[in-house]
Amino acid sequence: MRSPYSIPTGEALRCTLCPRRCLLREGQYGLCHSRRMVEGSIEALTFGKLSAVEMRPMEAKPFYHFLPGEEALTFSSWGCNLLCPWCQNYHLSIAKEHSPWAMEYGVEEISPGELVKIALERGAAATCGSFMEPLIMAEYLLELFPPAAREGLKNTLVTNGYVESEPLEEIVNSGLHGASLDVKGDDGVYRRYMGARLRPVMETLQLMVERGVHVEIVYLAVTGVSDGEEVFRGAMEEVLEVVDPSRVPLHINRYHPTPLFHSPPTPFGRLMRLRRLAEGLGFTFIYVGNTPEEELQWTRCPSCGEVLIKRRGLRMTEDRTLKGVCPFCGFHLPGVYA
């Protein structure tokens, strides 16, 4: 599919989907490998080509304040515009159109309308672009979200937020309801490990919150990279400039090694120090994930202290709220509840 996100620059085209703004000549791919210049235009190579379509609990995104206990039809293609070396889904994020992975596993062609039909048939409460970077599927999202919303589905993304404001506004306006947004560290982490910047992610966060999109922030504490208190504080201070910490949930997740990145798992004590630091910065709903400590994933009422929602692993096990309202004191939890 021809992409509208480009401007001519001499004999080349500059992609305007994300802040990378790749300059492409005939036959060249963008850094994300989801865009290529073909016959004088930039083609969105991933349109309708899905590498995964499966039902997943909202808690797996993670969303803890968005339709708890429900499931989303989760889909992906291939590619990413940040390429973190510790990526847990590296087989999708670094895959290319003709990579060994794509040749071995292949992709399934599913139109936006067909995906909505599948979601309804499987009893999904939402759609969710995940596993790779879904914002580089912008053209697909723009055709998926409106019909999904008309059918009563919520539309969500698990995203790095590295996108330009124009396509982001179009995606939000087309019917984006929720985003699990990765904040990978302070600006130094973005520059050193991804050749990117933190500021565009904060601009994405601000626009989403201002437009009423429910956002939950995910911070993967990578050992030796982003698990230090100084880096964490620097990242969270940027977040605090654009959000109310009493309204936006924060997930501090434990890192585990991957075949491409070999630092040891994040020490548990370090996760707890970051949790205490987040409390000091004013965050109300703080969760520590990827650990066996179930209580660190429970939701408590900040007004009366009662446990309201319990979770185990990637599932909700008990919801004592009245559609997000504390039955003990009447406090309204931020979020979206069925």
Strand partners, 179: 157, 215
CB 189 within 8 A of CB 231: yes
Residue 99: partners with Cβ closer than 8 Å, 6 or more residues away:
78
CA torsion sign for 29, 195, 193, 215 is negative
The pLDDT confidence band at residue 235, using thresholds 50, 70 and 90, is: very high
Architecture of domain 49-264: Alpha-Beta Barrel (3.20)
| Cα 312 to Cα 64, 236, 320, distances in angstroms | 12, 27, 15
Residue 143: partners with Cβ closer than 8 Å, 6 or more residues away:
112
The 3 state secondary structure assigned to 21-89 is: CCEECCCCECCCCCEEEECCEEEECCCCEECEEEEEEHHHCCCCCECCCCEEEEEECCCCCCCCCCCCC
pLDDT recorded at residue 1? 93
* Digit-coded pLDDT (tens) for 6-52: 999 999 999 999 999 999 999 999 999 999 999 999 999 999 999 99
Q: What are the sequence ranges of the domains in the chain?
A: 6-44, 49-264
pLDDT recorded at residue 105? 56
> What b-and-e string marks burial along 135-166, b requiring 16 or more CB atoms within 10 Å of the CB?
bbbbbbbbbbbbebbeeebbbbbbbbbbbbee
pLDDT recorded at residue 103? 46
Instruction: Decide if pLDDT at 332 tops 70.
Output: yes
pLDDT recorded at residue 94? 77
Q: Is 217 helix (H, G, I), strand (E, B) or coil?
A: strand
Average pLDDT, the chain: 96
The closest alpha carbon to 92, from 111, 77, 108, 74, belongs to 77
- Cα–Cα distance for residue pair 239/132, rounded to 1 Å: 23
Beta strands in the chain (DSSP E): 6-9, 12-15, 23-24, 35-38, 41-44, 49-50, 52-57, 71-76, 108-109, 126-129, 154-159, 178-182, 214-221, 250-254, 286-289, 299-300, 307-312, 315-319
* Digit-coded pLDDT (tens) for 150-202: 999 999 999 999 999 999 999 999 999 999 999 999 999 999 999 999 999 99
pLDDT recorded at residue 100? 53
Neighbours of 38 (CB within 10 A): 14
pLDDT recorded at residue 90? 84
Beta strands in 91-174 (DSSP E): 108-109, 126-129, 154-159
pLDDT recorded at residue 102? 53
* Digit-coded pLDDT (tens) for 75-124: 999 999 998 999 988 888 876 655 555 545 568 999 999 999 999 999 99
Complete edge-to-edge strand list for the sheet that includes strand 52-57: 52-57, 71-76, 126-129, 154-159, 178-182, 214-221, 250-254, 286-289
* Digit-coded pLDDT (tens) for 296-317: 999 999 999 999 999 998 999 9
The identity of residue 148, as a single letter, is: A
CB 114 within 8 A of CB 195: no
CB 332 within 8 A of CB 324: yes
